[in-house]
Structure 1
Amino acid sequence: MNMQTAAVPAPPPARNLSDTGLSIVMMRDILLKTMFRMNLDLVSELERVLCLPSRVVQELIDMSRDQGLIEAMGTLHAGATSNEMGYQLTDTGKARALDALSQSEYYGAMPIPMEEYGKQVKRQSIRNITMTRGQLTGAMGHLVLPDDLLDHLGPAVGSGRSILMYGPPGNGKSSISNGIRDALGDKIYVPRAIEYSGQVITVYDPIVHSSAEEQVDDGNSLRRSSMKYDRRYVLCERPTVITGGELSLDMLDLVYNATSRTYQAPLQLKSTGGVFIVDDLGRQAEPPQALINRWIVPLEESKDILALQSGEKFEVPFDTLVIFSTNFHPNEIFDKAALRRIFFKIKIDGPTQEDYLKIFAMVARKRKMPLDEAALVHLLKKKYPTIDNIYANYQPIFLIDQMIAICEFEGIPRQMSPELIDRAWANMFVREEHIEH
């Protein structure tokens, strides 16, 4: 059970236009573009799309009417419960919307100013979480782990800094990374978009922020749930970004779409308040040292530097638990300065024979495969000595799944025997031999 810290403070909804922190011109242009592109004419519709309270939307419409950009259409009957005034763009308003769209195609939810976003990041920092042994064990209960591993992992996760997990392949580094993510357990507020220097950067991504909850309001309810916080944010599980061999340095830069003239946040910005897992470090096109060098300033100073198309550089918050996972020894791929900057180095070794048998029995039970003493004795006494009795966590799953596949092919009930162990083992390793090309 998660004994998590209290819910993170919610960003309060704007009471008026100045509360949004945005320039009047930017808000007016986003309103006009949204009405033009989405063909919306009711305050209730605009409130939902712009993610602002109705009184703030009305304030924006009234201001735009004074400027001759919007006009009232008379009363529209919208459904059984409300009579709403409809609005439309004037010719001047349409011309202004087209001009604004030529500068940036962004419309919809009002962005959060970078400075305000920085304050919310501090309120919900990954470094504010408390990680107990119970939480971590609960999230990793399906893994057989040595006790001393949790002794190292717990303080590392609780620090919210950076972790390097290393060791031979197939021993659950990826599973442990996912377990850490599951142990976090609370929710944070992710901005739909942020604004810097008049440019809009979209952040919320349904793929990364997949556990997002949308508040659905009952129009008849007096206390509307979505009014409790600024709906320019989405309430989400702490995000997790997992990258592997495909990670390249340019994936950590702002993504600019030249056609729509809009920006999308890079991976590490999307993972703010959560976990960024770099799996299989050393398999990327860039050398590991170059990747680590890119993270050094963010890891040390809790801020990252991004650049706009104009070349202008600016700071964004960096509040992410970074987990590096590699099959290489750290001394092979990093210099001492880089290693010093990674706060926790944790070796994930293969299991002992005792733990190996626990994993084997657990997998067999899940796969409904009856255990056979002769087969296990054969495996431990005849097979493992040929590889110096080096056990790995992936091997029980591999061997049992192989035996199941053989049983199904032969049309016999699921079973294990020394002969089936031999056939499964033959597929686990490739014999060293020279093949003529």
Structure 2
Amino acid sequence: MTVFTCATPPKTIEETGLSSSYLIGLTCKIMHESGTVTPAQIAEQIRLPKLVCRQLIKEMTALTLVEAQGLETADIKSDIRYSLTDLGKKWALEAMLISQYVGPAPVTLPMFEKQIRLQSINNEQIHRNEIEKAMSHLVLPKGLMSQLGPAANSGRSVLLYGEPGNGKTSLAEALGNSFHDTVFFPHALLVGNQIIRFYDETLHEVVDLPEDTGPIDARWVACKRPVVIAGGELSLDMLDLSFDPTSRFYEAPMHLKALGGVFVLDDFGRQSSTPQEFLNRWIVPLEKGFDIMSLHTGKKFTVPFDQLVVFSSNMMPEELGDGASLRRIYFKIHVPSPTREDYIQIFEDACAEHDLEWKRAVVEEFFQAEYEAKSHITSGAHPGFLIRHIIAACRYLDRPVELNMELLELASRNVSAAKRGGEKTKPFWKS
């Protein structure tokens, strides 16, 4: 595991990369919400060293924006408390009209770009044993691992396609979990005097740094490489910056928050926009390695597009887009339906997961009757579905849960799509 370097704490206002007027406005907003505070308490919220906060207080005192309110405690070593003057409160309200963002000081766009390129996903090499460990909980078809390994190391784009329920999403998540480096993301960044909130506690997993790690700029958060999954709810406008006209600051889009990690577009082809429209939107990012963002002011700027993009689809590649678009997807990997032996192994694993006694002979009989005799297509999702239906049925019938042909046939009737004569062969059921 590698812990990439990150900026050290700034010692002066100039070293933050931000103007003193911006930082004073942010400090005024913090003090307006918090009341009387010490420089240490300001530092905790603004995520800048106390030394820099004292410099800000000094400038604010000169501008008569704050006034001292005495020591925090009787101890001579305690901090002096400060509160806003009437002029300071006016500055705070005026700053609120520009943006209601109150929180950690942002980093600049050049700082952000430098850090993202330093910790590029291409800088982490995934070896065979790491891939195998990350996917040890999955039953994989023969030969699939040799395709997934190079795809993970490409740091580019992958299409996983095949019948529904065969673990494409699980494969994509496992690919993400094979990465172990520690990367850094900012709480927010400043572009054209506009705040873009970046760190997202729902998507970014914080990690503890090794004890020998030197001090870092607290505006950055140490995280695992993210694995961000978007499904059928994803729309084209969600790939742009989201501006809240009330709070007057932006939220970074999901795929931007996946920088340095894995972005999974699940159920590709089920979104309201066509697959071709999504591929058109991503032609430049996938080919050139950067994306173009726009502010509501009209200002455009580029950001690195540095992530492993995984498209997961039940559709065939030729149904998703034209040749020019598909050429930008570097790896196209078919995830086949499980073989008889793989299906039986998945069923055994599912029984162990649900604490159900495993009976191989019963499952073999069921497989012959429902799949081989009726030409139904297998799915890795079927065993789990069947077991959950059996458990529900036994609870209703007030009988012990067990694996037998009677209950398997009952479960299959509840969820199967009956195959009629002359129809095209289709999945045993659709998940």
Same fold, TM-score > 0.5, yes or no: yes
TM-score relative to the length of structure 2: 0.92
- Deviation digits for residues 125-181 of structure 1 (CA, Å, limit 9, x no counterpart): 111111111111111111001241111111111111111100010100011111112
2:238 counterpart residue number: 251
1:72 counterpart residue number: 68
- Deviation digits for residues 93-152 of structure 1 (CA, Å, limit 9, x no counterpart): 222222121111122211000001100101111111111111111111110012411111
CA distance in 2, matches of 1:295, 1:48: 39
1:201 counterpart residue number: 196
Residue 355 in structure 1 maps to residue 342 in structure 2: yes
What fraction of aligned residue pairs are identical, expressed as a percent? 39
2:267 counterpart residue number: 280
Q: Select the residue among 227, 241, 245 that pairs with 1:240.
A: 227
Name the SS of the counterpart of 2:184 in structure 1: strand
Name the SS of the counterpart of 1:297 in structure 2: helix
CA-atom RMSD in angstroms: 2.1
How big is the shift at 1:204? 1.1
Quickly say closer, same or farther: Cα 1:45–1:419, change in 2 above 3 A.
same
2:46 counterpart residue number: 50
Q: Select the residue among 4, 7, 21 that pairs with 1:8.
A: 4
Name the SS of the counterpart of 1:77 in structure 2: coil
How big is the shift at 1:374? 4.6
How big is the shift at 1:389? 5.3
State the aligned residue count.
419
2:206 counterpart residue number: 212
Name the SS of the counterpart of 1:363 in structure 2: helix
Quickly say closer, same or farther: Cα 1:406–1:40, change in 2 above 3 A.
same
Q: Select the residue among 27, 32, 57 that pairs with 2:28.
A: 32
Q: Which moved more, 1:244-253 or 1:412-421?
A: 412-421
Q: Which moved more, 1:368-377 or 1:163-172?
A: 368-377
CA contact (8 A) 2:182 2:207 kept: no
CA distance in 1, matches of 2:5, 2:72: 39
CA contact (8 A) 2:343 2:380 kept: yes
Structure 2's unaligned 5+ residue stretches are 421-431
TM-score relative to the length of structure 1: 0.91
- Deviation digits for residues 325-354 of structure 1 (CA, Å, limit 9, x no counterpart): 000001012110111001111111111111
CA contact (8 A) 1:245 1:283 kept: yes
Q: Which moved more, 1:401-410 or 1:99-108?
A: 401-410
2:301 counterpart residue number: 314
Quickly say closer, same or farther: Cα 1:291–1:75, change in 2 above 3 A.
same
Opposite residue 160 of structure 1, the aligned amino acid is G
Name the SS of the counterpart of 1:234 in structure 2: strand
How big is the shift at 1:227? 7.2
Q: Select the residue among 133, 152, 155 that pairs with 1:157.
A: 152
Q: How does 1:54-203 map to 2 (within 5 A)?
A: 54-77=50-73, 82-203=77-198
CA distance in 2, matches of 1:272, 1:374: 48
CA distance in 2, matches of 1:355, 1:81: 73
Name the SS of the counterpart of 1:95 in structure 2: helix
Q: How does 1:415-434 map to 2 (within 5 A)?
A: 415-431=402-418
2:372 counterpart residue number: 385
Quickly say closer, same or farther: Cα 1:290–1:151, change in 2 above 3 A.
same
Name the SS of the counterpart of 1:83 in structure 2: coil
Q: Select the residue among 290, 296, 320 that pairs with 1:333.
A: 320
Quickly say closer, same or farther: Cα 1:324–1:29, change in 2 above 3 A.
same
- Deviation digits for residues 385-420 of structure 1 (CA, Å, limit 9, x no counterpart): 244253211112122222333333333333222222
CA contact (8 A) 1:42 1:86 kept: yes
Name the SS of the counterpart of 1:49 in structure 2: helix
How big is the shift at 1:214? 7.7
CA distance in 2, matches of 1:50, 1:184: 31
How big is the shift at 1:366? 2.5
How big is the shift at 1:381? 2.4
CA contact (8 A) 1:303 1:315 kept: yes
CA distance in 1, matches of 2:11, 2:67: 24
CA distance in 2, matches of 1:152, 1:53: 48
How big is the shift at 1:321? 1.4
CA distance in 2, matches of 1:100, 1:404: 59
CA distance in 2, matches of 1:387, 1:270: 46
